[in-house]
């Protein structure tokens, strides 16, 4: 096993969560080789509980219970309708099989990525997840000065919550919301609007929790055809659309709640149907 060189406190200076040496700044790959953590969670955001509710993620925060941003976006007609169409075209059973495989693939890819960024021993996963991770390594090595990895966040202002993959620098870009995705095939940028909306939401959550405004969104997608795509965007290009989606979800949520109340009122006493 390779032994890492551990530097003394005299060799390392920490400023705003960044590591500096006498000869300059360390990139992610160099940190990995030296055994110096890339993650410096200097903002103590408390962990929050997540549970499954009504087919989605519900986060229990100090400010209340908020449905996860991915679950909220999944209820919006613009994103829900194409998925429903796809399920009908391939059949419910086939769609379920593909979805389960995608979830497994994504969990493995995320687990490997999380541990890699934290300089931890990589877990055992299925072959596909490992292949997706290995081909994404060059992009992962561009990530440094990480504020947090797989961190649950929330916003009481917008009534949203979620778990961000990573926040840190990417190459020469400082302070980025970084999201990792796995896919069967390469993606067109026009297909991944929900990814940018999700990343924008994390940016607002983090800003509320820390006061730090993060404008840059980085989406890294590793696909089964052997390619890795990195899309970089600005939060300002998605602000209006995000707010529209959040408003639409609130309307849908109230409508569904009213239906539940109405159904409860119309239920015959003693009827267990």
Please report, rounded to a whole number, the percentage of residues in the chain having pLDDT higher than 90: 62
- Mean model confidence pLDDT for the chain: 83
- As a whole number, mean pLDDT of residues 31-56 equals 74
- As a whole number, mean pLDDT of residues 171-186 equals 96
| Confidence category of residue 41, pLDDT binned at 50, 70, 90 | low
Q: Looking at the predicted structure, is the pLDDT value of residue 20 above 90?
A: no
Of 36-45, 126-135, 137-146, 210-219, which range is least confident? Answer: 36-45
Cα–Cα distance, 270 to 273 (Å, whole number): 9
Please report, rounded to a whole number, the percentage of residues in the chain having pLDDT higher than 70: 78
| Confidence category of residue 35, pLDDT binned at 50, 70, 90 | low
pLDDT in tens, 58-106: 999 999 999 999 999 999 989 988 888 888 888 989 888 888 989 999 9
Q: What's the pLDDT at 27?
A: 52
Q: What's the pLDDT at 72?
A: 96
Q: Looking at the predicted structure, is the pLDDT value of residue 154 above 90?
A: yes
CA dihedral 90, 94, 95, 101 (to 10 degrees): -140
Neighbouring C-beta atoms of residue 43, cutoff 10 Å: 15
Pairing between strand 64-67 and 56-61?
antiparallel
pTM of the full structure:
0.80
């Amino acid at each position: 096993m390779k032994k890492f060189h551990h530097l003394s406190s005299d060799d390392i200076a920490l400023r705003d969560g960044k590591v500096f040496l006498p000869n300059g700044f360390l990139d992610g790959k160099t940190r990995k080789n030296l055994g110096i953590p890339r993650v410096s969670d200097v903002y103590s955001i408390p962990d929050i509980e997540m549970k499954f509710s009504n087919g989605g993620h519900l986060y229990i925060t100090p400010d209340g219970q908020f449905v996860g941003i991915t679950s909220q976006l999944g209820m919006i007609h613009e994103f829900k309708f194409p998925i429903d169409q796809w399920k009908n075209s391939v059949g419910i059973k086939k769609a379920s099989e593909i979805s389960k495989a995608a979830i497994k693939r994504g969990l493995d890819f995320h687990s490997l990525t999380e541990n890699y960024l934290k300089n931890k021993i990589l877990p055992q996963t299925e072959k596909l997840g490992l292949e997706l991770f290995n081909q994404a390594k060059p992009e992962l090595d561009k990530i440094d000065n990480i504020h947090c990895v797989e961190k649950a966040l929330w916003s009481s202002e917008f009534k949203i919550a979620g778990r961000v993959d990573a926040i840190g620098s990417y190459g020469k870009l400082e302070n980025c919301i970084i999201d990792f995705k796995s896919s069967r095939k390469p993606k067109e940028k026009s297909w991944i609007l929900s990814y940018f909306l999700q990343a924008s939401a994390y940016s607002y959550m983090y800003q509320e929790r820390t006061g730090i405004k993060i404008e840059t969104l980085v989406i890294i997608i590793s696909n089964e055809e052997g390619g890795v795509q990195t899309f970089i965007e600005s939060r300002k290009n998605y602000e209006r659309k995000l707010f529209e989606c959040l408003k639409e979800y609130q309307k849908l949520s109230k409508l569904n709640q009213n239906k539940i109340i109405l159904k409860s009122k119309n239920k015959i006493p003693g009827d267990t149907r």
